[in-house]
Chains A and B, each alone.
Chain A
Amino acid sequence: MKLNIFNTLLLLSALIWLNACKNVMEEHTEIVNVDNTIDVFQKVAAEPNLSKFSDFLRSTGYDKLLASSQNYTVWAPTNDALATLDVAISSDPAKLKDFVANHIALTTIAKPKSISDTLRVQLINKKFASLIGSSFEDAGVIGNGSFVKNGAVYTINKAIPTKQNIWEYMLSSNDAPVQTNYISNITTMVVDTANAVIIGYTSLGAPIFAPNPPMVSRNLYWSLVADLRAENQQYTFFMLQDAAFNSETAKLTPYFSVNDKLGLVADFTVKGIYSADKLPDTLTSTRGVKIPVSKAAVVKSYRASNGIVHVMSALPFRLKDKIPVFKIEGENPSGFRSDRTGNTYYRTKLDNLGVQYKDIEVYSHGVSEYFIRYLRGGIPVVKYKVYARAISGAAGDAQVANFTQRYFIYNPLTSTPTVPVYDLFATQTVTPLNYNEVLLGEYTPKQYGLLDLRLTAAASAAVNVNTLILDYLRFEPILP
C-alpha cells in the first residue's frame, strides 16, 4: 500500500516535471494538425474561398514552386479581400508576381501563440513581414493555419501589396524634393570589386586591381548614416519639406559651410520604428544627436517595408546638439614624430578625488621638438574655448619639475602639398599635481573638416625639459 502511494506520487511528480519542461521556444515552433497527403498548392487550390489567389499562383508560376520539396508558408487572401485589389497590380504580370511573392515565405511557420508574440519573417520577394499575434502585417489571420506535407497555409482577410523600402519611397515620393534631390546625389565612385581584375595582393592581404578598374557609384548616405535599402533593418526616417529644409540648412551654413546639408541630413535617421502616434518629443539619431520632434509637424507618414517615413513640416534642431563639445584623449594618439615606444607610457592613475584617469606621457625620449599627433574629422567652423588637462608629478611620475609643451595646429590655407604649415596655437606650462583643466585659448578652425594637432615638446633633448603629458583636450564651442 505504502509502495503504491509512493509510486503514484512519483508518477505525478514526473508528469509535473515533464509539463514544466515544455520550453518557450518549442511552443513557438510547434506544429500540429499535419496533413501529409497534399502539398501547399493543392491545399490552396482546394479551398473555394481562395480560388482567386490560386489562380494568381497558377498565372505567376508559383504553383510549381509550392508543389516542390522545400517547405513554404502561404498567407492567402480570401476572394473578398482580392476583389478590391488595385487593377494596376493584377493587370501587370511583373507586379502581380511580386504581389504574390509578398505572401509566401520559404519555411514552415507556426502562428504566434499569444497576442504579443512577434515574429519577423523573410518573404520570397526579400521583404520582411511582421507577425504579431494573429495578424500578418495589416491583415488578420482567419482561423488556424493548416499544415500540409511541405508547409503551411493561412487564410487572411486582406491583401498585402508589396511595400517600398524607405530608400525606394524617398526616391519615388515628391514630399521633400530638395532633400531627396540632395541625398540621392551625394555619391562617390568606388571600385567595382565584383568586376575588377585582381592582379595581386599587398603584404596586408588587400587586393591590387589592374589599372583603370571599373568604377560604380555609391551613395554616401548608405555608409555615413544608414543603408536605408536594407530590408532586414528597421528605421524611422524623416523627410523635411522644402521650406523647413532650406531654413534648417541656412542655420548650419556658417558652421558647416558646403557640408551644411550633409550636417543636416546626417541626423534624419533613427533606429527602430516610431509610428506617428507614438513619437516621443525627442529622438536620438543613429550617430547620437538629439532630434526634437513635434507630432503636430507630421504632415504624413508612410509605413515602408523596412521602417517608417515621416514627412515633416518642421524639425528644428538645436545648434548645441549639432555642434557639440568634443574631447581629444591624450592616450589615443594618431601618430608620433618617431618611434619612442620605450619612453611612451600609457598611464592609469587616480586623481586627487580618487577618480581613475588614463593619459599619455613621453618621458626622457631625447628628441628635440618631439611631437604626438592627434587627428579628428568633421570639425565645424566655430570659435572654441580649448581646455587642456595635463597632470605631472603624481605617484610614480619622475617628472616633478615644471615643463612647457606646445600645441600646433595644421593650417590648410597656408600649407602647400609639399610644405605643411602648423601654426602655434598655445604654449602650456605644466606644473606638478595640477588636476584642473587649463584654458589654452580660443581657436577657430580655418575651414570645415579635419583638425590636425601636434602636441610638441620643448626644443631641447634634455630629460625633464622635453616631457609631454596629456590627459585630454576639451573643445567647447561658443554658440550664439
Chain B
Amino acid sequence: MDFNKKVIALLAVALLATGSWSCKKIIDEAPESTLDKSNAYRNSTDADAAVIGIYGQFLSLQKTYILQNELRADLVSVTANADPDLKQLSNHSATKDNPYVDPRPYYKVILNCNDALKNFQLMREDFRMSVDEYNKHFSDIGALRSWIYLQLGIQYGSVPYITDPIENVEDIKNLAAHPRISFEDLLTKLIDFTEKLPYKEVYAYPTGNPLVITIDGNNTQKIFICKPFVLGDLYLWNNNYLKAAENYSKILNIENNNTNINIAFDAYKVVYSGGSAYNDQAVRYARYQDESSLLYDQGWKTMFSAQNTNIVWNSEFFWGIPYSSSFKPGNPMIEFCSPLYGKYLIKPSQAAIENWNAQRQYSGIPYDARGKLSYETTASGPAITKLIDNVTPVTNLNKGGKWGIYRAALLHLRFSEAANRDGKTKLGWALLNIGIANTFYTGTRSATGSPTPISFEEINTMQTPYPAPYYLDARNNNDYKSPWYRNTGVRNRAGVTALDISLQNDMIGLEGKLIDEAALELAFEGNRWPDLVRIARRQNNPAFLADRVYQKLLKDGDPSASAARAKLLNPANWYLPFEWK
C-alpha cells in the first residue's frame, strides 16, 4: 500500500467517523410533532389526560359488555336481522372465532391501565405528582382495571391476570403464554389489590379537582368508577356478605349529611315520588288506574333519558358515561336496538315481556309499566328503548346517549342480596318491596293504613333493628325526619304490588325474587348474565341459569333451546372460549 492510498483510507475512516457522530445527534433529537413516551407523564395534568384517555377507550367496551351480559342471558333475543355470530351468542353455540367472544378488547384497556398505573408510581417517586394526586389517580384506574377483570372472570372463567405494563411489541407476543388463573383465584387477587387501593371513596375525584368539570353539557364527576361498588361486587361474588354490605352501605349513606336536604333524603335511596326532580324516579300516571295516562317524559323513564347534569339522573346514577352527539363514537347501542336509526339486531325476549306482564300494579293495571318504559312496540317488532333513551331523541344526526352502569336500584338489589345472605332477610324484603319504614313499623296506623305513631316507642320501630352496615334509620313524624324516611322499595317505586311477607323468612326464596326483580327493573342494562351466574354458582344450582335461558329460547322458537339447556347444566359451559388469536 503506498502512501497516497494510506492517506485516502485514513481520510475515509475519519469522514465516516465524523458522519456517524453527527448522525447520532439527529437520532437523539426529540421529535416535535409526536409525543414520546418519556414526555407523556410529566405532571398531574398529564395524569389527568391519561385517565380521560383510558375512560374514552373504556367506552368501547359497552357493546361487548351489553351483548355478552344480555344476549347470553334470558332478557334479550336476536331479531331476524341478526348475523349468525349474534345468534350463536344468544343460543350458546358461540365458537372461539366469533367476534363477540374475543377477549382482546378488554385486554386492550387493561394494558393501558397497567401502563398508567406504572407511570403514576414513577411520577410519585420522582415527585412529579403529589401523594394525594397519586392516591386518587392510581385508585381510580386500579379500580377500573378490577372491574374489567371481574367482567373477564364472569365471561371466561379462567383468564391471565396481567398487571405489568407492556412496553414493546415482543411482550405482546408473550401474552398468549401468560398463565391463566381460575375465577376463584382471580377474585382473591382482585379483592386483595382493590382493598389495598389508597383512596376508596364513592366519588373518584372530589368537587374542585380539575377532573370534575362540566363540559359540552355533561358533568364529569360520575364518569369515573365508584370504587366501593366494585369492592362490594367482588366480595359478593366471593360470598363475603358482610364485607359486601359494608361497601354497598358506604354508597347508600354517602349523601346523608348533604346540606341540600333533597339530596340527603333522595340520592341513591329509592324513594317515593314527592313532586320534585330529586325524587322523580317513580313510575307515574297522570290519572291513577288509567293506563293511557302513563307518563313517559316524567318519572321512571327520565332516569335514562335525562342528561347527567340533570337532578333526576343524579339522584339515581353514580356511574355512567355520556356519549356526545357531536363526537365519535356515539352510542353504539343505537345500531343494535333501533329499527329506525340502526340495524335492529337485538330485541327484548318474549320471556322478558312476559315477566313484566305477570306483574300487577296497585292501581289494578295488570302489568308492570317498566316494560312499556324499557321497550316500545314498533312495526318491526318490540324494540329496546332503555339503552338509547336520550333527552333529545335519537336521529341519524344525533347518536348521543349514555352508558349507565351503576344506579340506586341496582345498589339496593345487591345490598339486599348481601343482607339476605347475612341473615337480614327482612331488610332485603323491605328494600325490594315497600321500604324500611313501612316494613319495620309496628305501631298505630290510620284507616288507610299509613303509619300514625303515637309514641316514641312506635316511632322507634321505623328503623332496622340491626347494627351497621345494616342499620338504616327511617324514623319520621311531622317534626322529625331521618335520612331513610322516604325510602319506598324498588317495587313500590314502580307501583307494582309487594311480594308475600312469608319471604321475609325465606332466604333462598327471596334471593330468587331479588334476581327476578332485577329482570324487571334493570333489564337490558348489562347485569343479567352475572346475576344468573352468581346465584347459580352460589346455590350450586346450574338449573337456576339453564332454565331461564331455556325458557327464552323456547318462547322465541329457537330449536336449540333444549341443547342450550343441557349444555348450561354443566357450569364449565357457562364460560366463553378464551382465545388470543
Contact = CB atoms under 8 A, between A and B. Distances in A.
A395 B364 CA distance: 4
A69 B281 CA distance: 69
B292 A395 contact: no
A396 B369 CA distance: 15
B363 A395 contact: yes
Contacts of B361: 395-396
A222 interface: no
Nearest to A358: B291
Nearest to A357: B366
A346 B291 CA distance: 7
Interface stretch (A118-126, A304-312, A347-355): A347-355
A394 B364 contact: yes
Contacts of A346: 290-292
A345 interface: yes
Interface string A339-374: 000111111111000001000010000000000000
B536 to A, nearest CB: 32
Indicate the size class of the contact surface on chain B. Answer: 10 to 19
Interface in A53-69: none
Contacts of A343: 287
Given A395-B360, A396-B361, A347 B366 contact: no
Interface in B493-538: 497
A349 B362 CA distance: 11
A374 B72 CA distance: 52
Interface in B359-380: 360-366
A356 B366 contact: yes
A397 interface: yes
Contact of A348 (B288, B291, B362, B497): B291
A330 to B, nearest CB: 13
Interface string B342-363: 0000000000000000001111
B290 A397 contact: no
Contacts of A396: 288-289, 361-365
A395 B291 CA distance: 14
Interface in A388-421: 394-397
Nearest to B287: A345
B362 A345 contact: no
A344 B365 CA distance: 15
Contacts of B362: 395-396
Nearest to A395: B364
A361 B366 contact: no
Nearest to A356: B366
A348 B285 CA distance: 13
B228 to A, nearest CB: 39
Contacts of A356: 366
Interface in B445-504: 497
Nearest to A391: B364
Interface string B532-570: 000000000000000000000000000000000000000
Contacts of B288: 345, 396
A304 B363 CA distance: 58
A46 to B, nearest CB: 53
Nearest to A341: B287
Interface in B263-289: 287-289
Nearest to A361: B289
Contacts of A350: 360, 364, 366
B365 A349 contact: yes
Contact of B287 (A342, A349, A395): A342
B489 to A, nearest CB: 18
B365 A348 contact: yes
A397 B289 contact: yes
Contact of B364 (A342, A344, A349): A349
Contacts of B291: 346-348
A435 to B, nearest CB: 13
Contacts of B366: 348-350, 356
B33 to A, nearest CB: 50
B360 A347 contact: no
Contacts of A348: 291, 364-366
Given A342-B287, A344-B287, A345-B287, A397 B364 contact: yes
A19 to B, nearest CB: 24
A345 B360 contact: no
Contacts of A347: 289-291, 364-365
Nearest to A349: B364
A345 B290 contact: yes
A126 B288 CA distance: 57
A430 to B, nearest CB: 16
A442 B472 CA distance: 63
A348 B293 CA distance: 12
Interface centre among A343, A345, A346, A397 (most CB of B within 10 A): A345
Contacts of A342: 287
Nearest to B290: A345
Nearest to A342: B287
Nearest to B288: A396
Nearest to B495: A396
A397 B363 CA distance: 7
B139 to A, nearest CB: 49
B45 to A, nearest CB: 57
Nearest to B363: A396
A343 B287 CA distance: 7
Contacts of B364: 347-350, 394-397
A347 B293 CA distance: 10
B195 to A, nearest CB: 48
A72 B291 CA distance: 57
A397 B288 CA distance: 9
Contacts of B360: 350, 395
A399 to B, nearest CB: 10
Nearest to A363: B289
A372 to B, nearest CB: 15
A363 to B, nearest CB: 9
Interface string B290-317: 1110000000000000000000000000
Contacts of A344: 287, 290
A395 B363 CA distance: 6
Contacts of A349: 289, 364-366
B558 to A, nearest CB: 25
Interface string B10-21: 000000000000
Interface in A119-139: none
A343 B289 CA distance: 11
Nearest to A398: B288
A109 to B, nearest CB: 33
A56 B212 CA distance: 91
A186 B366 CA distance: 49
A347 B292 CA distance: 8
Interface in B18-72: none
29 contacts: A342-B287, A345-B287, A345-B288, A345-B289, A346-B292, A347-B289, A347-B290, A347-B364, A347-B365, A348-B291, A348-B365, A349-B364, A349-B365, A350-B360, A350-B364, A356-B366, A395-B360, A395-B361, A395-B362, A395-B363, A395-B364, A395-B497, A396-B288, A396-B289, A396-B361, A396-B362, A396-B363, A396-B364, A396-B365
Given A356-B366, A396-B365, 11 more contacts: A345-B287, A345-B288, A346-B290, A346-B292, A347-B290, A348-B291, A394-B364, A395-B362, A396-B289, A396-B362, A397-B289
The 8 A-B residue pairs whose C-beta atoms are closest, nearest first, are: A396-B363, A396-B364, A395-B364, A345-B290, A349-B364, A345-B289, A350-B366, A347-B289
